[in-house]
Every structure is written in structure tokens, then in C-alpha cells.
Amino acid sequence: MTGLPRPLEFYLLEHSRLPGPRANLELANDVAYLLATASAEHPQAVLSLIKTFSNGDRQLVTSGTPEEFVMLCGIVSAGACASVRSEWREQITELLNHYACSSSWRVREAVSTAFQHLLSADTRMTLECLLQLAQSHNFLQQRAAVAAIAEPRLLYGPELCEDALQLQRIVLEQLARVPALERKNEDFRVLRRALGYTLSVVTAALPEKGFALMRECALWNDHDVHWILRENMKKKRIAKFTQEIARVTELLP
């Protein structure tokens, strides 16, 4: 950790599996945990490495390239390291808020993974960050909020499930107020696609209140919200709730 970052960067570039259908996420997670461990003895070296990998410019990375993978590794590692180094959390959440707006879908997924590391370590602080993103007027930051919390392994207690459902509600309400012209924006479509699965993840963990929210949303008379509901009701994770799905379906046009 005390040497130059280039050898590790070269290794990541070589083993990224990009271009290709699937990046080497196992390697990305291994690097994140190794750096989190190393941060105990070499905090400044690790922080410098994270900044080098993430490179500070969310728009310059080209999708589907080894360079995108290096950025992805930096972002996932940032979340893993901040989960064990509380003094880093403020600057790392600022970094994640920045990269939530990336044009790269892999980078956006890395942001969700990084936030999930933070949720495991400091749930309240991270929920406050996600609430700010959910209430923003940036479609991609809203997407980060609902995607980060939609992780089954995190939804283990009723209180966190309630918070997760509230984030879904806030973003759905924001989406329903978006003017028709703005809905042609690609970032809006990215948000809509995310909500097309995140609501069912939370509903599977909190079915009674999740389906109650779905029934409420079905009455909003919004075609994008209706599309989101239909997409969620296709998911196997809630397929066993046949009666609840039927009740929502009856309310849709």
C-alpha cells in the first residue's frame, strides 16, 4: 500500500472482463474488502488510491471498457472503506452523490453497492443521505436512493423496511409530478426502470404496507406509475401474494 498504485490498476484493467457482458464483480468486491482492511494501517494511501481509481470525472469514462471497471472498483471500495472508517463518511457520501449521476450504468450500480456497505455500518446516517437524494430534483440521484435500499439482505427489521418503503413513496410521488415534456429525458427513463423492480423488493419484505402503497399508487391516474406497478407485479419475489396482486390489478386501467 505504500507504493505507486499503477501495478494494482494494471491488474484491474487486465482482469476486468470488459468489454464483455459482465464485469468481474467478484474482483471488485475482493479489492474493496482488501482496501477496507488495509485502511487500518495505511489510511492515507488507501484514500489516495480510491481517489485515483475514481478519477473525479464521472462523464469521461467510456462504458464497457477496462477503465470503467477501475472506476467501479474505486467507488465500491470507497463505500467499503468508509464503513470501517467513520471519519471518511462525509467525504465519501459526497463522492457517491456525485457518481450517482454518472452516465455509466455500471458506475451507478457501484454507487448502490457502496451505499449498501454504509447502510450496514451506519444505518441512520446513510438513510439521511438517501432521503436527501430521494427529495432531490435529480432523476439519477433519486434512482440511487431507491436502488441502494432495495437489497433483500438489508431489509431484516421492520423499522428499516418502513424507511425503505418511505423512500419508494417519496420518489414515486416526485415522479408523478414530473411534467410530460421532462419524461422524455433518458435520466427519467433510468429512474422509471429502477422503480420497476425496487418497489417489489421492499414489498416482499413488508407485504401489507407495500401492497397498500401499490393500491394507492394505482389510483394516481399516472401512466408511468401504472407501468412501474405492472413491472413490479411480474417479479417472482412477490408472486406468492396472488390475492394482493389481483387487488392492485383491478385498480389499474
Q: Is residue 139 part of a domain?
A: no
Residues 6 or more apart whose CB falls under 8 angstroms from that of 160 comprise 123, 154
- Same domain? 156 vs 46: no
Nearest to 200 by CA among 222, 231, 225, 173: 231
Q: Does the pLDDT at position 57 exceed 70?
A: no
- As a whole number, mean pLDDT of residues 50-54 equals 90
- Same domain? 251 vs 196: yes
- Domain span holding position 39: 1-121
- Same domain? 160 vs 97: no
- Same domain? 100 vs 42: yes
- pLDDT mean across residues, the chain: 95
Give the separation between CA 208 and CA 6, rounded to whole angstroms. Answer: 52
Vertex 234: Cα angle to 207 and 187 (nearest 5): 95
Per the model's pLDDT, the better-predicted residue between 6 and 116 turns out to be 116
pLDDT tens, residue by residue, 109-158: 999 999 999 999 999 999 999 999 999 999 999 999 999 999 999 998 88
Q: Does the pLDDT at position 56 exceed 70?
A: no
- Domain end among 78, 102, 121: 121
Q: Are 143 and 190 in contact (CB under 8 A)?
A: yes
Q: Does the pLDDT at position 6 exceed 90?
A: no
- Same domain? 94 vs 192: no
Q: Does the pLDDT at position 178 exceed 70?
A: yes
Q: Does the pLDDT at position 85 exceed 90?
A: yes
Vertex 35: Cα angle to 33 and 40 (nearest 5): 105
- Same domain? 37 vs 110: yes
- At 55, is the pLDDT very low, low, confident or very high (cuts 50, 70, 90)? confident
Cell numbers linked to 194: 429502477
Residues 6 or more apart whose CB falls under 8 angstroms from that of 243 comprise none
Residues 6 or more apart whose CB falls under 8 angstroms from that of 219 comprise 251
- Same domain? 18 vs 115: yes
Give the separation between CA 14 and CA 7, rounded to whole angstroms. Answer: 11
pLDDT given for residue 5 in this prediction:
60
Q: Which residues of 199-220 are buried (b: 16+ CB within 10 A; e: fewer)?
A: bbbbbbbbeebbbbbbeebbee
- Count of structural domains, the chain: 2
pLDDT tens, residue by residue, 225-252: 999 999 999 999 999 999 999 999 999 9
Q: Name the DSSP letter for residue 5.
A: S
Give the separation between CA 224 and CA 74, rounded to whole angstroms. Answer: 34
Q: Is residue 64 part of a domain?
A: yes
Q: In 10 A of CB 231, how many CB atoms?
A: 16
Q: Is residue 145 part of a domain?
A: no
- At 58, is the pLDDT very low, low, confident or very high (cuts 50, 70, 90)? low
Give the separation between CA 119 and CA 141, rounded to whole angstroms. Answer: 17
pLDDT given for residue 59 in this prediction:
59
pTM (2 d.p.) = 0.94
- Same domain? 99 vs 154: no
Report the interhelical angle of 158-176 vs 186-205 (nearest 10°): 150
- At 167, is the pLDDT very low, low, confident or very high (cuts 50, 70, 90)? very high
Q: Is residue 165 part of a domain?
A: yes
- Same domain? 101 vs 155: no
- As a whole number, mean pLDDT of residues 71-89 equals 97
